Structure 1
């Protein structure tokens, strides 16, 4: 499992199906999720994402978490499973899209593509292409 994951830039050797099964048994546990995130371990962070309460995070907290999430799988799951379900995705989309860090900016563009697909009203679509 680790070799396959490393080909994709991920540093964990965890079977994701088993990780999801564990998360299902644990259910939502925000406090445990925060403690797991603090370990800086990829597998622990993935589990934290699966058992957290997305709406419990503040905008600044999510910004810090994204900047800490340097492993592609953690970055992707954080945006898709937490940020998109949080009350602040639009604010974060605007801030991250303009960020000089390309990894952070990619999260902004990920949120922008979601917005274009689901709620394009109010977006300067032509301006996005410039």
Structure 2
């Protein structure tokens, strides 16, 4: 089978467009009308194709960018390319997939985490906190965890939604993985009350840090 061209890939995406799905997605800020499991099936057919991924990304279209993130090779992007891409991830799903499938998978993750840390753009700062959560859980050596808690305590309450969500994730991750800091993490979460009233479906764990920490620790130690 020949490699899929940009026109063919865009044709496959156009064929999956569903007006009802678009209406539902647009309420969440995602301007595309494609069922994501169908999109994954297209990606599976293409496999990894970095040149096509870059062409899809340059269209600027949300559906094309989502497909690009599924077929790209994260290690092939330079630091400047990653930085430019992140700054364009306005739709929530594009942002979510970029952070989870590319930023967390690139060998440059730590370099990008530091580069993005104090960025005034909330989308960029949020990605840095997401990468910080991964390090807190998997490779905390060299991180100043008490200082991270100081920053969260100072900034999380008034942060924009994306960095607030990512800081809260870091707070919970510190509380779950680092027992010596758990009491302080719980205390910060209780005092700030960030996401305390977040609507949570039955059977799911609330993202409110004190509930999240307590529940995951109970499962891990149970």
TM-score by length of 1: 0.96
Matched, 1:17 2:37: yes
Q: Counterparts of 1:83-102 in structure 2 under 5 Å?
A: 83-102=103-122
Number of equivalenced pairs: 130
> In terms of mean alpha carbon deviation, does 39-48 or 116-125 score higher?
116-125
What is the aligned counterpart of 1:32 among 47, 52, 62? 52
User: How far did residue 91 of structure 1 move?
Assistant: 1.0
Whole-angstrom distance in 2 between the partners of 1:65 and 1:10: 17
Q: What is the match of residue 66 of structure 1?
A: 86
Matched, 1:78 2:95: no
User: How far did residue 71 of structure 1 move?
Assistant: 1.1
User: How far did residue 12 of structure 1 move?
Assistant: 1.2
Q: What is the match of residue 124 of structure 2?
A: 104
Q: What is the match of residue 141 of structure 2?
A: 121
The gaps in structure 2 that reach 5 residues or longer are 1-20, 151-222
TM-score by length of 2: 0.57
The gaps in structure 1 that reach 5 residues or longer are none
Q: Higher RCO, 1 or 2 (CA under 8 Å, sep at least 6)?
A: 1
